[in-house]
Amino acid sequence: MNSRSAVIKVGGSLLEDGKSYFEVAERIRDTFIDRGYNVVIVVSAMKGITDDLLKVYEGSLQHLRNVVERYIDAAKYIGNSKLEKRIKEYAVKLESAYKLAFTGNITIKDLILSFGERISKVLLTEALSAIGVKAVELEAVELIITDDVHENASIILRETRNRVINIIKPLLRDNIAPVIEGFIGSSKHGEITTLGRGGSDYTATAIASLLGVNEVYLISNVPGVMTADPRYVHKA
């Protein structure tokens, strides 16, 4: 692995529309990749989307439409019809989950919430590729194993460690930037879990500590760049 590696968490406050995905991608390229960093990118949902998805879970068709529209608009801006088709497939799955929302099933709630990050990851990876960054999508549900405390799950590091190391290290060695969803994981029963509001920071710091990467950047709309919570990362 390159000696300079960093985990970068992209906050939802930066992701407002299709154009902002390109802005973030350019910022990552110019600030990190062009300066010799190998990066792991942890991405949040688009701004306001998690709040909207909570309303979707409560039964709001209006919020469902808003989420789908914003993501499809972004896909149109970023990519071609293939990307748009992919995002529409996610939208269909979200609509199916919405139909189950009234059952009061907590696993459905986390499933609905997960779409914000899952779609956002696809868009950011596409924007990175479009500006010449070698980037690949990873699946948080395959890498990040949690307990089954839905909506506030904890990452089981013992279960997550080998997956993260075995999948991510070879990519970094090849100068490929993995892009993974923050905020979500899956329980040992294979159900999607979420890590609590703002949980993308937790994902980023957990991945950094498992990889032994001690530079974590939490980029967001607030001035400057914050480094990670030292509770999770030593020498952040």
Residues in the chain: 236
Nearer to Mg ion by Cβ, of 11 and 178: the residue is 11
Helix (H) / strand (E) containing 143: helix 140-143
- The two counts, helices (H) then strands (E), for the chain are 8, 9
Contact 232, 202 (CB under 8 A): yes
Nearer to Mg ion, 198 or 212 (CB): 198
3-class DSSP state of 107: helix
Give the residue with the Cβ less far from ligand ASP, 1 or 106: 106
| Interaction of residue 198 with Mg ion, rule CB under 5 A | yes
182 contacts which partner out of Mg ion, ligand ASP, none, CB within 5 to 8 A by kind?
ligand ASP
CB 219 within 8 A of CB 10: yes
Q: How many residues sit close enough to Mg ion to count as binding (CB under 5 A)?
A: 2
Q: Three-state DSSP class for 209?
A: helix
Compute the least distance from the CB of residue 202 to Mg ion, in Å: 10
With tokens 């899956």, the residue in question is: 186
Q: Which is nearer to Mg ion, 11 or 79 (CB)?
A: 11
Q: Which stretch binds Mg ion (CB under 5 A): 61-69, 78-86, 93-101, 195-203?
A: 195-203
Binding site for ligand ASP (CB under 6 A): 12, 44-45, 50, 116, 182-183, 197-200
Q: CB of 11: closest distance to Mg ion in angstroms? A: 5
Residue 116 interacts with which of ligand ASP, Mg ion, none, CB < 5 to 8 Å by class: ligand ASP
What CA–CA distance (Å, rounded) separates 218 from 17?
19
Residue 230 binding: pick among Mg ion, ligand ASP, none (C-beta 5-8 Å cut-off by kind)? none
CA-CA distance, 73 to 93, in Å (whole number)? 18
By DSSP bridging, strand 184-187 and strand 192-194 are antiparallel
Closest CB to Mg ion among residues 162, 221: 221
Sites of contact with Mg ion (CB under 5 A): 11, 198
